[in-house]
Structure 1
Amino acid sequence: MSAVRAWVLRLSARAGERRALLVLFGLYWLMVLVVLPRASVSAIPTLDLRFWYTPDDVQAAFGATDTAGRWAFVVGHFTADLVYPLVYALLLGGLLSALTARTGRHANAPLLAWSGALFDVLENLTLSILALAYPNPLGGLAWLAALFTAAKWSTIALTFALLVWEIVAWLRVRAR
């Protein structure tokens, strides 16, 4: 596990270089403004934008569309919605790496951004399985998907809180 940790921290450090951050910032906004809206072709209510949902919510969401809509949902989750977590993990991990390198604190902070991305990918995988299994209610898997979603949003919120904390710390160090 420490080899994975070290690799993620090295990758975040490279992403934290000024040029890489500029490219990642551009990629992030390209994903948000162009790619993700075009990839959202299904009529399924977006479960992954909520903080929490139940197996009944999952069944209702997948029941709101036909087989083609559920298939479009799965394709979207294995294309654009698989790249998006990588982009934001690189961006947030890079920002945290750059800031913590300057303050000398919280060297493992980029791991928080990557854990949010991991929960996002696990959420996409479980929701895709649920979409393919519909109309069979896989209640246990639906609860697991909801846990991944809540964990994703929690870790992303913590990542942003830590990012603000590190920016303030960096500004204080810089002001001295």
Structure 2
Amino acid sequence: MKKLYQWSNWKTWLVSLIIFAAFLGFILPNEAAESSRVTGTSESPDSSFFYTPETLFSIAETYGEEGRAYYVRARYTFDIVWPIAYFLFLITTLGILFKSIQRSRWRYVILLPLSGLVFDYLENLSTSLVMSCYPEQLNVIAAIAPVFTAVKWSCIYASFALIPIGIVTYLITRKKSLRSQ
């Protein structure tokens, strides 16, 4: 955890911001458009907060063979890199903002983006298995995939929600530091 804080600096943050913005502005819209074109729908388990195994099987059916193959390919190409992009942005942002209070319990907030990344990969693995084996129904995997998705989104949303708190904390700590000089 200490390494994550040491790694969080303004230079790393700026690079991560540029990468994150490029994904949001160019790569994600293009990927979403291509996915909709190939699968015939904009529905995806990745974009839902929670879904049922039945919904996952229904999406697999809707995608068709070509759409399922595309979905699996995207999980092991695009969706390997995208989580790294948002992870780097969140980890450096929270690292900079909470660096000054590392001795409190708040120091653990830097682990939220890492948890989001891990659960994103677990989601990708499980949904890809369901898609690649369909029409065979992998009921256990289809049952845990929505849990991975919900935990992923909870960690990501919490990470973004912590940014305003971190900004206030950073400004207060900085003000106190300037007063004591």
Q: Same fold, TM exceeding 0.5?
A: yes
Provide the C-alpha distance between the structure 1 equivalents of 2:23 and 2:6, rounded to a whole number of angstroms: 22
Matched-pair identity in %: 32
Q: After the TM superposition, which segments of 4 or more aligned residues of structure 1 sit over 6 Å from their partners?
A: none
How high is the TM-score relative to the length of structure 2? Answer: 0.85
- Give 5+ residue unaligned stretches, structure 2: 177-181
User: Greater share of helix residues, 1 or 2?
Assistant: 2
Q: CA deviation at 1:12?
A: 5.2
| Equivalences for residues 26-37 of structure 1 within 5 A | 26-37=18-29
Query: Equivalent residue of 1:137, what SS?
Result: coil
Provide the C-alpha distance between the structure 2 equivalents of 1:50 and 1:111, rounded to a whole number of angstroms: 23
Provide the C-alpha distance between the structure 1 equivalents of 2:114 and 2:56, rounded to a whole number of angstroms: 26
Q: Which residue of 1 aligns with 2:15?
A: 23
Structure 1 residues 37-94: Cα deviation after superposition (integer angstroms, max 9, x where no partner)? 3334332521111111011101111111221111111111111111111111111111
Q: Which of 33-42 and 116-125 deviates more?
A: 33-42
Query: Equivalent residue of 2:142, what SS?
Result: helix
Q: What amino acid does structure 1 have at the position aligned with 2:55?
A: D
**Is the 1:13–1:94 Cα contact (8 Å) retained in structure 2?**
no
Q: Which residue of 1 aligns with 2:127?
A: 127
Q: Which residue of 1 aligns with 2:3?
A: 10
Q: What amino acid does structure 1 have at the position aligned with 2:153?
A: W
**Is the 2:5–2:95 Cα contact (8 Å) retained in structure 1?**
yes
Greater Rg over alpha carbons, structure: 2
Q: CA deviation at 1:102?
A: 2.4
Q: Which residue of 1 aligns with 2:45?
A: 47
Distance 1:90 1:13, change over 3 A: farther
Provide the C-alpha distance between the structure 2 equivalents of 1:12 and 1:90, rounded to a whole number of angstroms: 12
Provide the C-alpha distance between the structure 1 equivalents of 2:111 and 2:91, rounded to a whole number of angstroms: 7
**Is the 2:126–2:142 Cα contact (8 Å) retained in structure 1?**
yes
Q: Which of 119-128 and 95-104 deviates more?
A: 95-104
